[in-house]
């Protein structure tokens, strides 16, 4: 098992790793829209927060030379399901033709009162 860290993504806000490599899989911890330099929430609306989340995910994946095309599962947490279609527009801009399995749930709250959190599982092509 390997614990993954990059300073190009926000430091974890708790006692966990940005990602863990286990066998042929990489499990990314949930990313919220924190600016990696300031650790402050970036954006107030769902679109800008989602963009920051995916920038953070891209940075963690890049640490292991991966892209969104290696993602096999996505779990999305939204504080308001009314943001679903707006979130999907940002999501599609990162995944394009690649369609990993996905779940999306509404939650009552997320850390730092953000609107979205996303975690993923990636597969290392061998």
pLDDT band at 38 (very low <50, low <70, confident <90, very high): very high
How many domains does the chain fold into? 1
Query: What percent of the chain is helix, strand and coil (3-state, nearest 5)?
Result: 30, 30, 40
pLDDT band at 35 (very low <50, low <70, confident <90, very high): very high
Q: Please report the pLDDT score of residue 126 as a whole number.
A: 55
3-state secondary structure of 83: helix
Q: Please report the pLDDT score of residue 14 as a whole number.
A: 87
Task: Produce one character per residue of 16-41: b if its CB has 16 or more CB atoms within 10 Å, e if not.
Answer: ebbbebeeeebebbbbbbbebeeeeb
pLDDT in tens, 47-97: 999 999 999 999 999 999 999 999 999 999 999 999 999 999 999 999 999
Domain that holds residue 72: 2-123
pLDDT in tens, 101-123: 999 999 999 999 999 999 999 99
pLDDT band at 13 (very low <50, low <70, confident <90, very high): confident
Q: Please report the pLDDT score of residue 108 as a whole number.
A: 98
Provide the CATH number for the domain around residue 11: 3.30.1330.40
């Amino acid at each position: 098992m390997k614990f993954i860290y990059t300073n190009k993504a926000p430091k974890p806000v708790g006692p966990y790793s940005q990602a863990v490599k286990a066998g042929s899989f990489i499990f990314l911890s949930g990313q919220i829209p924190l600016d990696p330099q300031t650790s402050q929430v970036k954006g107030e609306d769902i679109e800008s927060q989602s963009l920051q989340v995916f920038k953070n995910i891209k940075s963690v994946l890049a640490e292991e030379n991966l892209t969104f095309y290696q993602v096999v599962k996505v779990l999305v947490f939204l504080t308001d399901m009314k943001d679903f279609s707006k979130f999907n527009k940002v999501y599609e801009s990162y995944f394009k033709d690649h369609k990993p399995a996905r779940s999306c749930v509404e939650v009552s709250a997320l850390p730092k009162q953000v609107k979205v959190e996303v975690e993923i599982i990636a597969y290392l092509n061998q």
